[in-house]
């Protein structure tokens, strides 16, 4: 695993003009494992100019040829899947098996899905006496988070390239190494120079410069709602298109007819996966009062199994944030039934798998996104009460409903103010649109809906 000491600009690795660097730290042992450039505004400007110059040629490239480049990209990712998993494990701290199954495998599937969509999408259609063309938006600024550091990159870059857009990627400063590996893969796949550019850097410097740049037509950002607001305000002032995938506080609603043990066990696994660093995690488990005590006991037992099986959080700041939320939960009267604020190890940014019972809807831990391995179990009186609690946050990203009868679960899910709901443990679908209601975001990623974000329409009347 090597780090580049440059940024990927116009088809080549070049020194950053800023001269600044970022230390990449292994969250397991807190050791510096690499250094990458901390690009500044001049570097961002050079990358945007390269993307701008490459845009006319790439936009005019036949969709079949764009599809061929994306197929080559998927194949190049697949050929390096072990290296991808090892890189994510080193910089994010995810257990290697999870990195292989999720952090490496999912982006390969998503890249493949866009190779297919690029070949099949109708980039022009007849509507009465008009012909409607679906044209690329232009230069895309992709600003990605650290929690799924390759998936989030591919979920933006692949549809942008399929649409005929050019891209400047600014990955999270905690996980730049897999983004550099991705740039190598793009190069090897034969994507023309300038179509994809990578600037590693700090959010408030490189990210801000990218969001503000007049040469950028669309800002696609995944991260916190607080930063999303800033980016939306910046883009809005320039009347620039934005796609925002932000926070979540998703409800896992277990109706009385459900298989309680399965629903609780899958629910706990969902929250502990990726050490709880998942925007769509079902961090609120809603259980009927008659089954509540049994569910809490099941959750306590399930959480105990994850003690040594989850990785650390990404950095010291995140560890302190999550510990602070656990302390606040205790202070506000929630009952700790598993885990707690004390770190389970002396070294590394670890937090114990934690379960709170007797959580009420207005508590901080039931309202705010914690982004760690912390589950709140809430009691409800009847279905209307469950719905009120489920919809009672500013977020609306994901959720789950469990019931003995699928139709019963679907009826409840249709009333939830959320962008994606899993029914009785439904599997992840890389073709289904992903995105939120309310303060969880604007726009959708993945599948045909994700491609549409990077297209604009022109109609010709005859």
| DSSP annotation string for 301-357 | HHHHTTTTTS---SSHHHHHHHHHHHHHHHHTTPEEEE--SS-SSSSSS----EEEE
Residues 220 and 282 in one domain: no
Q: How many angstroms separate the CA atoms of 281 and 276, rounded? A: 7
Other Cβ atoms within 10 Å of 236 Cβ, number? 10
pLDDT of residue 166: 99
CATH assignment at residue 75: 3.40.605.10
pTM: predicted TM-score of the whole model, two decimal places: 0.98
Other Cβ atoms within 10 Å of 28 Cβ, number? 19
Residues 64 and 196 in one domain: yes
State the average pLDDT over residues 5-34. Answer: 97
Task: Write down the catalytic residue from 245, 408, 445, 453.
Answer: 245
Q: How many domains does one find in the chain?
A: 2
Is 245 catalytic? The answer is yes
Residues 203 and 278 in one domain: no
Residues 444 and 416 in one domain: no
Token match 């549409």: residue? 452
Quick check: is 337 in a domain? yes
Do the strands 7-9 and 284-288 form a parallel or antiparallel pair, or are they unpaired? unpaired
Task: Write down the catalytic residue from 91, 173, 279, 453.
Answer: 279
Residues 241 and 361 in one domain: no
Residues 226 and 85 in one domain: yes
Per-residue model confidence as pLDDT tens digits over 101-117: 999 999 999 999 999 99
Q: Domain containing 86: what range?
A: 7-246+440-461
Quick check: is 435 in a domain? no
Quick check: is 152 in a domain? yes
Residues 228 and 256 in one domain: no
Q: Transcribe 250-273 into DSSP letters.
A: -EEEE-TTS-HHHHHHHHHHHHHG
pLDDT of residue 400: 98
State the average pLDDT over residues 56-74. Answer: 98
Residues 141 and 258 in one domain: no
Quick check: is 278 in a domain? yes
Cβ contact 356:329 at 8 Å: yes
Cα-Cα-Cα-Cα dihedral sign, residues 177, 138, 75, 105: positive
Quick check: is 171 in a domain? yes
State the average pLDDT over residues 149-172. Answer: 98
pLDDT of residue 408: 98
State the average pLDDT over residues 270-281. Answer: 98
Per-residue model confidence as pLDDT tens digits over 179-194: 999 999 999 999 999 9
Quick check: is 2 in a domain? no
CA-based nearest residue to 73, from 198, 195, 191: 191
CATH assignment at residue 413: 3.40.309.10
Distance of CA 264 to the CA centre of its chain: 24
Residues 120 and 264 in one domain: no
Please provide the average confidence, as pLDDT, over all residues in the chain.
97
Cβ contact 455:137 at 8 Å: yes
Phi first, then psi, for residue 123 (nearest 5°) are -80, -5
Distance of CA 404 to the CA centre of its chain: 31
Q: Identify the band that residue 307 occupies on the pLDDT scale cut at 50, 70 and 90.
A: confident
Residues 370 and 423 in one domain: yes
Quick check: is 1 in a domain? no
Residues 348 and 411 in one domain: yes
Cα-Cα-Cα-Cα dihedral sign, residues 119, 123, 127, 129: negative
Residues 115 and 259 in one domain: no
Quick check: is 22 in a domain? yes
Q: Identify the band that residue 341 occupies on the pLDDT scale cut at 50, 70 and 90.
A: very high
């Amino acid at each position: 695993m090597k780090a580049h000491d440059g940024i990927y600009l116009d088809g080549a690795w070049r020194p950053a003009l800023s001269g600044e660097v970022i230390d990449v730290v292994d969250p397991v042992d807190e050791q510096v494992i690499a250094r990458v450039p901390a690009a500044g505004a001049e570097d961002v400007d050079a990358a945007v100019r390269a993307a701008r110059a490459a845009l006319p040629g790439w936009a005019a490239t036949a969709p079949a040829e764009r599809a061929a480049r994306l197929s080559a990209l998927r194949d190049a990712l697949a050929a390096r899947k072990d290296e991808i998993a090892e890189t994510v494990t080193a910089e994010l701290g995810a257990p290697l098996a999870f990195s292989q199954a999720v952090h490496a495998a999912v982006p390969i599937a998503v890249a493949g899905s866009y190779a297919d969509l690029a070949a099949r999408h109708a980039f022009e259609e007849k509507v009465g006496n008009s012909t409607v063309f679906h044209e690329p938006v232009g230069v895309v600024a992709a600003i990605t988070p650290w929690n799924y550091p390759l998936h989030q990159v591919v979920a933006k870059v692949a549809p942008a390239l399929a649409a005929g857009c050019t891209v400047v990627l600014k990955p999270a400063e905690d996980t730049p190494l897999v983004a550099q590996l991705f740039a190598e893969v793009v190069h090897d796949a034969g994507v023309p120079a300038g179509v994809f550019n990578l600037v590693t850097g700090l959010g408030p410097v490189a990210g801000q410069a990218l969001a503000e740049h007049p040469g950028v037509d669309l800002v696609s950002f995944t991260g916190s709602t607080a930063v999303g607001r800033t980016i939306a305000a910046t883009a809005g002032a320039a009347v620039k298109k934005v796609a925002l995938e932000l926070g979540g506080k998703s409800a896992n609603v277990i109706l009385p007819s459900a298989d309680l043990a399965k629903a609780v066990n899958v629910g706990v696994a969902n929250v502990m996966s990726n050490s709880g660093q998942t925007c769509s995690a079902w961090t609120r488990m809603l259980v009927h009062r008659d089954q509540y005590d049994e569910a809490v006991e099941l959750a306590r037992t399930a959480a105990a199994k994850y003690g040594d099986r989850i990785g650390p959080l990404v950095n010291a700041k995140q560890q302190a944030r999550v510990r602070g939320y656990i302390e606040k939960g205790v202070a506000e009267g929630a009952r700790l039934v598993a885990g707690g604020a004390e770190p389970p190890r002396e070294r590394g940014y670890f937090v114990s798998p934690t379960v709170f019972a007797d959580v009420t809807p207005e508590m901080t831990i039931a309202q705010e996104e914690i982004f760690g391995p912390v589950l709140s179990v809430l009691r409800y009186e009847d279905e209307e009460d469950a719905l009120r609690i489920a919809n009672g946050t500013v977020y609306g990203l994901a959720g789950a409903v469990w019931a003995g009868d699928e139709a019963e679960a679907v009826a409840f899910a249709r009333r939830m103010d959320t962008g994606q709901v899993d029914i009785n443990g439904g599997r992840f679908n890389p073709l289904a649109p992903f995105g939120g209601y309310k303060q969880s975001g604007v726009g959708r990623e993945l599948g045909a809906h994700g491609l549409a974000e990077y297209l604009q329409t022109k109609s010709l009347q005859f």
